[in-house]
Amino acid sequence: MNANTTIFDPQGTPRLLGPELASGGEGRVFPLHEYPDLLIKRYHPEVLAKRGPELRSKTEAMVTLKERFRSHPVSWPLLSVFDEQRQWVGYTMRRAQGVPMFRLAHAMAYVKSFPSLDRNQVVAYLRSLLAALNGLHRHGVRVGDYNLNNILCQPGSAAISLIDCDSYQLKVAGQFFPCPVGSPDMTPKEQHGRAFSDIVRNEASERFSVAIVLFKCLMLGRHPYDIVGGDDPVNNLKAGRFAYGRGNTGVPKGPWFNIWSHMPHRLKEMFIHTFTVGADQPEARPSLNEWDLALRLYQVEMAKGWHECAIKPAQPKSREYRGSRSMAQA
C-alpha cells in the first residue's frame, strides 16, 4: 500500500485515505475511504519533528474524554493514527458540515454562502455557538483561539460545529495542556505581552473573546475596536477605545452605522460595557448565559416587528427603540 494514502489505527489495521480535503500550517486532512464521515488529521513531518511528543500527549489525553463530547457539536479527537513504521502521526475525528462563520461575518462573502441570510438566522447561529461553548466550559475546556474559520454554520438550519479542537486548553488527570495559539485582536488586554503557550485562559478571557465574535457576526465582520481614522484594533483594544460607545467618534458610516442604529438597546449596552469597562475589569464582562438571554429577547422582539430583520438595513433607524428591560415584558 502507498504510505501517502494509508494510515494505521491503534490495533495496527491499515486504513485507506480518501483525497485530501484541506491543508494548513500544522497538517493535512483526509477522509477515511471506508468511513467518509470520519476524518484524519495528519501532521506535517516538520511539525512532528518539532512538537510530536507534545502533540501526541495532548491528543491522546483528549481521546480519553471523547465520550463526554460525543453529543456535542465538536470535532473532538477520537483515535490516534500511525504511519507504516508505527510512528504516531495524528488522529481521527468526526466530519463536520457547514460554511465557516468567517463568511457569515463578512460584508460581501455572506451573499454567496448565505444568500437568504437575515438577522434572525445570525442570532440563531450565535445562540447555538453559545450553547456549544457552555458545554465545553462545563467540562473545564477553554477554546482560547477564537478563529471564525473554525466555527462552521450549516445553511438552512441553526446548527454549528466547532473544528480544530486540538488547540483547546484543558486539564486531564492533573496534566495541564495550554492553548498555544491565538490572535492579539481577539485576546483581552490582561493577557497581552506573553506567549500564547504561557497564558492560562479563564472564564473572563473567554467572555471577552466571545463578545468580539458576537459583535463581528452582528456587524458583518466589523471589529469592535476598528475605528475610522483611529489607531489599529489591537492598540484600541488595549486602551478600551470602543467607537460605538456613548458619544464616541470614529463609528464607520454606511452599513455598519445603520446596523448599530437598529440593534436593540440591551445589546448595545452590553457591548459598550464589555468593550469599555470590561476592557479593564475582567469580572465586569457579561457571561455567556447573559448574552444568550439578550439574543433570545432580540429574537422575540424581531418576531414582534420591533427591529429590522434585514442583514444590511438600507437606512439608520428613524427612531430609537430601547427594547424591553426584562424577559417578563417580552
- Domain borders along the chain are 6-94, 99-329
- Name the average pLDDT for the chain: 92
pLDDT at 307 over 60: yes
The pLDDT, as a whole number, for residue 318 is 77
Sheet holding 99-100, edge to edge: 99-100, 151-153, 160-162
* Residue-level pLDDT at 4: 59
Report pTM: 0.93
Residue 1's pLDDT is 42
As a CATH number, domain 99-329 is 1.10.510.10
Q: Give the pLDDT of residue 248.
A: 57
Asked if residue 283 has pLDDT above 60, the reply is: yes
At residue 228, the pLDDT reads 77
Residues contacting residue 279 through CB under 8 Å, at least 6 positions apart = 188, 189, 208, 237, 238, 239, 240, 242
pLDDT for res 212: 98
The answer, yes or no, to whether residue 326 has pLDDT greater than 60, is: no
pLDDT for 246 beyond 90? no
Give residue-wise pLDDT tens across range 115-125: 999 999 999 99
pLDDT band (50, 70, 90) for residue 235 = very high
**pLDDT of 245 above 80:** no
Give mean pLDDT, residues 252-280. Answer: 92
Q: Give the fold, CATH level 3, of 6-94.
A: Phosphorylase Kinase; domain 1 (3.30.200)
Lowest mean pLDDT among 55-59, 132-136, 205-209, 302-306: 302-306
The pLDDT tens digits for 168-215 are 999 999 999 999 999 999 999 999 999 999 999 999 999 999 999 999
CA-to-CA dists, residue 154 to 97, 108, 150, angstroms: 7, 18, 13
Q: What is the pLDDT of residue 47?
A: 96
